[in-house]
Amino acid sequence: MTPTQYCQQKAAASGSSFYYSFMFLPDDKRRAITALYAFCREVDDIVDECSDTGVAQTKLNWWREEISRLYQKQARHPVTLALSEFIDGMQMAEKYFQEIINGMEMDLQQVSYPNFEELSLYCYRVASAVGLLSIEIFGYTAPETREYANDLGMAFQLTNILRDVREDAERGRVYIPADEMREFGVTQDALTQSQTSDAARKLFEHQAKRARTYYKSAFEHLPETDRYAQRTGLIMAAIYEKILDEIESDGYRVLEHRISIPPLRKLWTAWRTSRQEKKHARLAAAG
């Protein structure tokens, strides 16, 4: 199996919404973003699947060293071997890979966040840093696009937190800020129950509104000149906003069942958004 095939298999096996947005990219960009996503899966799986914290930390330390080797052109792992083809030409900075690992380490070191300020650091590391690497793959010209990438990553992570709130709580992790839980009168134990109280519903609505704010900010920061190049992120956003739509229309009952979008609907949303962005780019070019 080649490094590219390994990354493709890793990405496809995850069933993530992100995978559907990669289909509409040119071959080199598709291979690069798939390799980046495979890296994220590798380090995320360590935290999710390794029950021994010490072993998980050792594995993350290995990945820190492997990223350093990648930038010294001494990569060993199939994922970093796949990435090695792109890091120079696409200007992907090592610091963002290390920040992603920093975010995974936070999952080993703490299980809750006292306020949104501290949670936002976690979101930046595990999501915005990925976005800042991704825009280098897709290509951009305006510095404002970095703000777009940061805010879109925050929006994605906040959407994930709301969707997965019960699953995370059952693992002993709570990503909703503790001060907001106290404000709305929701305990950690309540997040593991299969009932949605009025207090929990209001708390979840608050989280959804924050995510919406970040989506709005991201779109406002994206310059017209970079919009078509960044269409993959816009496809992801269309799918993720549909998840938020489903959560809201379902009355925020995320404790009772996990909200998901069927694969065919994800594919349809990806295709439709890609087509819309192509049309938008043609109209913009025509003046």
150-160 average pLDDT score: 97
pLDDT tier for residue 105 given thresholds of 50, 70 and 90 = very high
Model pLDDT, residue 282: 78
List the CATH number of the domain containing 197. Answer: 1.10.600.10
Q: What is the residue whose two structure tokens read 């490094």?
A: 3
* Structure tokens belonging to residue 261: 């979008």
> Does 218 share its domain with 81?
no
> Does 145 share its domain with 283?
yes
Alpha helices for the chain (secondary structure H): 3-14, 17-22, 27-49, 53-71, 78-83, 94-109, 116-123, 129-138, 144-163, 165-170, 178-184, 198-221, 224-227, 231-249, 263-286
Instruction: Please tell me which residue, 200 or 50, carries the higher pLDDT value.
Output: 200
**Range(s) of the domain holding residue 287:** 112-287
> Does 33 share its domain with 139?
no
The number of angstroms, rounded, from the C-alpha of 80 to the middle of its chain's C-alpha atoms is: 19
* Structure tokens belonging to residue 127: 């999501």
46-55 average pLDDT score: 88
Model pLDDT, residue 278: 78
> Does 90 share its domain with 183?
no
Structural domain total, the chain: 2
Among the candidates 109, 138, 157, a domain finishes at 109
> Does 6 share its domain with 86?
yes
> Does 153 share its domain with 13?
no
Model pLDDT, residue 233: 92
Among the candidates 109, 126, 147, a domain finishes at 109
> Does 153 share its domain with 271?
yes
Mean per-residue pLDDT over the chain, rounded: 92
Model pLDDT, residue 276: 83
Among the candidates 109, 139, 172, a domain finishes at 109
> Does 79 share its domain with 116?
no
Q: What is the residue whose two structure tokens read 């549909």?
A: 242
pLDDT tier for residue 18 given thresholds of 50, 70 and 90 = confident
> Does 43 share its domain with 20?
yes
16-30 average pLDDT score: 81
Phi/psi of residue 237, nearest 5 degrees: -60, -40
Q: Which residues contact 143 (CB under 8 A, 6 or more apart)?
A: none
> Cα separation of 6 and 79, whole Å?
7
> Does 257 share its domain with 148?
yes
Whether residue 248 contacts residue 208, with contact meaning beta carbons closer than 8 Å, is answered with yes
Would you say residue 14 has pLDDT above 70? no
Q: How far is CA 162 from CA 114, 147, 206, in A?
A: 17, 23, 10
Amino acid at 103: G
182-209 average pLDDT score: 96
> Does 90 share its domain with 132?
no
> Cα separation of 111 and 126, whole Å?
15
- Predicted structure pTM score: 0.93
> Does 163 share its domain with 52?
no
